[in-house]
Amino acid sequence: MKYEPLVHVVLYQPQIPPNTGAVGRTCVAVGAKLWLVRPLGFRIDEKSRRRAGLDYWEHLEWETVASWQALTDALAPARFWFFTKHATQSYTSVSFQRGDVLVFGSETNGLPPSLLAEHSDRALLIPIRPQVRSLNLSCSVAIAAYEAARQCGE
């Protein structure tokens, strides 16, 4: 039987291994599939995962892809949502559906401006107070994934 994730979580060129590990844990917890778009800022081979103590990764559905195009080819025709602090639409204002794709940028660069411009109607914001520059990547994924799960009745 083919695995049907609740949602897909995409990390676009992640750079910090512990963040990716924490995102993987969240994906296992909610039944999401994790996609990593290369290049990555770290190694993801089995030895590196073992050293990082990612013992739950045996339960994680995950895949790496070489490029953004490879990702969109693999997930078409799913709905994509792009999380960025530059959006004006809150993540709580949309209705998530099973199979949606939640896209997050790298820790230092976020998502490319060209990608956000192309999909501005699908850009979502997690509101934060002005005293905070941004949320940690793994926190943002957890907020979005659990909201999607809540809306989908999981």
What's the predicted TM-score (pTM) here? 0.94
Element (H, E) at 146: helix 137-151
- CB neighbour list of residue 138: distance below 8 Å, 6 or more residues apart: 18, 19, 22, 23, 26
Element (H, E) at 29: helix 17-30
Q: What pLDDT does residue 1 have? A: 45
DSSP class per residue in 62-127: EEEESSHHHHHHHHTTSPEEEE-TT-SSBGGGS---TT-EEEE-BTTTBS-HHHHHHTGGGEEB--
Average pLDDT (3-12) is: 94
Q: Name the pLDDT band for 54 (thresholds 50, 70, 90).
A: low
Q: Which CATH number fits domain 8-151: 3.40.190.10, 3.30.70.1060, 3.40.1280.10, 3.20.20.140?
A: 3.40.1280.10
Domain coordinates in residue numbering, the chain = 8-151
pLDDT in tens, 104-132: 999 999 999 999 999 999 999 999 999 99
- CB neighbour list of residue 87: distance below 8 Å, 6 or more residues apart: 116, 123, 124, 125
Q: Which has more pLDDT, 45 or 58?
A: 58
User: What is the distance between the alpha carbons of residues 71 and 147, in angstroms, rounded to a whole number?
Assistant: 23
